[in-house]
Structure 1
Amino acid sequence: MAQRYLQGDTLDHAEEDRLKEVVSLWRERLMDISWFMRCLNESIARQANAEDNCTGRFWEGRFKSQALLDERALAACMAYVDLNPIRANIAQTPEESDYTSIQQRIRAAVSGKQPKNLLPFVGGERLNMPKGLPFQLDHYLELVDWSGRHLDPRKRGCIAENIPPILERLGISPKHWLYLSRNFESRFKGLVGSVEVVQKVCAQLDKRWVHGISDCRRLLSATPC
């Protein structure tokens, strides 16, 4: 019916009513992250099970969906994801971590460019700011490299040495940042940002409480470095 409608065919009343129901369902699914993840997980699970000649779930648990509400949350989540291969001991450095955005950015930066298929870094906040990530690329690369050097708990290092300037601008202490770079996904389940921003969004959504608000207050609210 949808194909006939798009081709300009005339539908009777019963077909029009049924098509409206189907279109309404499609619209709901296009906005539903859970439905998207269900479709994605199912296809991956079928491929993996066929390769391993087995059955069952491919992923251990449900996906997590966090709303990144400000610069602090954005930077912390990006660095956490970019450091995943290093924490898993799959790569020793960010530039060696295959299939990651940080590797693409580093390779492009060698030529003084930014990847065309990734959102560019456009610097700090300012009036008439172009679309992009509100950090300087070199500052972010330094931050990820610095964070990666402190992931091994057996190598404490001196966290006060050569602190990337991006932390000073965001107002996150080095100690809190290193904790975030190891535990971002496990600490936050929903809204992520400074406690002031989270409380504002909670008021807009008519929510009285959000999981992780105490960690937002402790780790992402402005503190001197």
Structure 2
Amino acid sequence: MANKGLDSLVKDRLRTWPQSPPGLHPRNRPRHAWLRGRPVADLSACHPFLKVPGSDRLRTLPDGLWLKFAGTPSEPYADIFAVEACGSLQNLLDKRSRFAPSTHSLLAVCPVPWLLAPVDGKDQTPRWRATGVLRHEPVLPVVLPVRDVRVLYALKRDHYAGFARHQVPHAHEFFVPMESITAEGSDSDPALRSLIARATAQNFLGEPEAA
């Protein structure tokens, strides 16, 4: 029951986070749009999920999922930023395995109802228009290859301390104490915003000018 309560608290907090991960400025450039895929404000609404090619049952549903739509209308792709709250070490191992480096690809699936719905209560733009890479209103789910993955794991404080002392994260992994995301107004915490900004930073000194 405790973990169920924690799960609800985490999702309630993540629903208050903005459309772009905290610490990142919303991208106004065409074809570079962040959107929050999970959790959505409407509890009954469908939402994006991750899967491997050919799988129609096994899905990865992170506690929090942000997608940056990029590329071109003919070759779109998504970069993802995920948040996973782990109530136990076994839970951490299970969730880490879903994002472990692999030779197979990962796909982001965006259901039609999610794409047709408005961005949020303040922005009534349909999400498919906000992506910047979809030319027409979708009638089928949009399946995008995932180019880049970053995952933020939130751990209970004793697990966080032990992991920091004895483990080495993969390059795409970042860790915080659970209170960092469950605290009220967590998306405004300067330390968390700074970590997320570093986690999702480009590997270049500056972005090239659009062609």
Q: TM-score normalized by structure 2?
A: 0.29
Larger Rg: 1
The alignment's TM-score, normalised by the length of structure 1, stands at: 0.28
